[in-house]
Amino acid sequence: MNAKYTLTQRILCHRTKFCILNSAFFILLSLQASAQHQELNDRNEGDTVVINKKSYIIHKCQKGETVFSIAAKYHVSVNDLDNANKDIINNLKKNTVLLIPVSKKKEEVKKDEPKMILPKDIIYKIVLLIPFNENKNYTADSTLANGNFLNGTLERETTASLEFYEGVLTAVDFLKMKGFKARLSVIDVFDSASVTKVKLKTEVKDADIIITNLGQNLAVLLSNYAATDKPVIISCGINTSASLKGNSNSFFTSPASLLQCQQMGEYYKKESSKKDKFISITTSLPKEMERANAFNNAVANDNELTINKVKLDSATQPLKLKVSQFLSKGNNNIIFVPTTDEAFASNVISYLKTMSAEFEFTLVGLPTWQYFQSVNPEDLQLLHTTIFSAVDISYESSSVVAFRKSFRDKYFTEPSENAFVGYDAMLFFGEELLSHGINFSKHLIDKDFKGLSTSFRFVKEQGSNGFENNYISVLRFEDYALKKINR
């Protein structure tokens, strides 16, 4: 059945299950829905209506309007717009009637804290430091007017950076409709020399915010900003929090790898029972040991839970003698295998499969497992395998559908994961600037933001360090696909 059927349609589809005595009720319900729809069509744009004790503004769509432009016009989120108009949001036409939810939320202002009033004409100076690698993609050619020739195939990092940049620009367009003003400077940084040089530029020195997707090796070169609160640094790269320690006004949108392992341990600590058995299986590789320790320590915070550690001398060492002694019949055996080695993971999976008739398993792996080619998906389902990820895009979501359409219309291509990451980061921090100004950091704690590719739940790191997003998506292999199982 189509998941977007209305309540009335669902009921009518099952009318044969009910006795004839109830038929009148369903017909009446259908007539009421039809009458309500006609009543909304008869209303004028801008009218306020109350439905089920909730207030809505009537909006009649005009040619060329999109979900994003309508949401921006009324200062509501795309998700709120979708929830109020479930059956029609993805098929907007001229004169389509939409219900715009009226928010009743008001910011609470502490008596001892004066309300911040943001000038309408404030313009934020934002610098984007992005590794486009122009030097690798152009070849010198004196016969051309600009002296450069673009190579046929762009570098992989260049493509990723370009997609990230386009996602940022898409968010800026949306924010502009809400009144956001900014002066963007885009600078190509591709090696240590270019990063060092760019810090001397006036626009970088005077910036309010720096947004970058630099990796950890180059992000560390921005650490000299640690002594000041300006500019704010928003890092969308992977594992960059350690590179910018000491900067209290830095923000990391992607949780570091070890933090993700820790959060997975926290998840299973909450979801497991006291009788469940935890086992971590690693080789002697230092990175595997670090990941296992992060997971194990999170679980061990609960004094009633213990975790058994299995360390193999090599990836090919037999598992039976090492693992079987810890397995428990009648209880769930939660097995964490923090390896990126497909052969080793396959070896563990094969062993656990032979034991699955006798024992119950939940196998926990790393994000890279979703790309394994030699592992049978049926085995992953049999072992109730879960992985975690910093990015998870629900392509059925109406918000994602609307973003993809807007992106395709502007750039004539599908948005990649990098585009979603850039969009989410710019949209979140842009809205924080609109609401709270440049000192938005004190409003972030305990605040959740649901983006298109992730959610943001920032926590303040210890000491004088910045804020790191600690949200992960927990994904289970089901029906030959990954299904999100956490909120």
Q: What is the mean pLDDT of residues 266-278?
A: 92
Q: What is the mean pLDDT of residues 81-100?
A: 85
pTM here? 0.77
Strand partners for 459: 468
Span 258-389 CATH architecture: 3-Layer(aba) Sandwich (3.40)
Q: What is the largest CA-CA distance in the chain?
A: 87
Which pLDDT score is estimated for 38?
Answer: 64
323 contacts 348 by C-beta, under 8 angstroms: no
Is pLDDT at 456 greater than 50 in this prediction?
A: yes
> At which residue do the structure tokens 């600078």 appear?
187
HSE-up of residue 17 (Cα within 13 Å, Cβ side): 5
DSSP letters for 355-423: HTTTSEEEEE--GGGGG-SSS-HHHHHHTT-EEEES----TTSHHHHHHHHHHHHHHSS---HHHHHHH
The mean-pLDDT minimum among 39-43, 422-426, 434-438 falls in 39-43
User: Strand, coil or helix: what is 149?
Assistant: strand
Separation in Å, CA 10 to CA 35, 52, 221, 384, 462: 18, 20, 58, 32, 52
262 closest CA partner among 241, 283, 244, 245: 241
Pick 395 or 86 by higher pLDDT. Answer: 395
The Cα–Cα gap between 88 and 5 comes to 11
Q: What is the mean pLDDT of residues 236-254?
A: 86
> At which residue do the structure tokens 């990451």 appear?
421
- pLDDT tens by residue, 6-29: 434 433 443 434 333 344 333 333
Q: Which two tokens stand for residue 477?
A: 């292999």
Strand partners for 235: 212, 252
* Rounded to 5°, angle at Cα 182 from 178 and 185: 145
Which pLDDT score is estimated for 317?
Answer: 81
Cβ atoms within 10 Å of 113's Cβ, excluding its own? 9
Strand partners for 140: 148
The Cα–Cα gap between 461 and 362 comes to 31
pLDDT band at 200 (very low <50, low <70, confident <90, very high): confident
Cβ atoms within 10 Å of 440's Cβ, excluding its own? 18
The mean-pLDDT minimum among 25-29, 203-207, 374-378 falls in 25-29
Is pLDDT at 312 greater than 60 in this prediction?
A: yes
- pLDDT tens by residue, 109-164: 444 444 444 445 689 999 999 999 887 776 666 565 565 656 667 888 899 999 99
Separation in Å, CA 243 to CA 215, 220, 400: 9, 4, 32
Is pLDDT at 68 greater than 70 in this prediction?
A: yes
The alpha helices in 130-247, defined as continuous H runs, are 134-137, 156-176, 192-198, 202-205, 216-219
124-255+396-469 and 258-389: identical CATH topology:
yes
Backbone angles phi, psi at 298, to 5 degrees: -65, -40
Which pLDDT score is estimated for 367?
Answer: 96
The mean-pLDDT minimum among 106-115, 198-207, 291-300, 310-319 falls in 106-115
Q: Which two tokens stand for residue 385?
A: 């395998």
Which pLDDT score is estimated for 104?
Answer: 63
Using DSSP bridges, classify how beta strands 54-60 and 148-150 pair: parallel, antiparallel or unpaired: unpaired
Q: Which two tokens stand for residue 253?
A: 């949108």
Is pLDDT at 376 greater than 70 in this prediction?
A: yes
325 contacts 315 by C-beta, under 8 angstroms: no
Q: What class has domain 124-255+396-469? A: alpha beta
Which pLDDT score is estimated for 464?
Answer: 67
460 contacts 445 by C-beta, under 8 angstroms: yes
User: Strand, coil or helix: what is 31?
Assistant: helix
> At which residue do the structure tokens 């292999």 appear?
477
Is pLDDT at 362 greater than 70 in this prediction?
A: yes
Q: What is the mean pLDDT of residues 300-316?
A: 83
DSSP letters for 226-279: GGSS-SEEEE-SSS-GGGGTT-TTEEESS--HHHHHHHHHHHHHHHS-TT-EEE
CATH number of 7-101: 3.10.350.10
Is pLDDT at 398 greater than 80 in this prediction?
A: yes
Residue spans of the domains in the chain: they are: 7-101, 124-255+396-469, 258-389
Q: Which two tokens stand for residue 337?
A: 């295998």
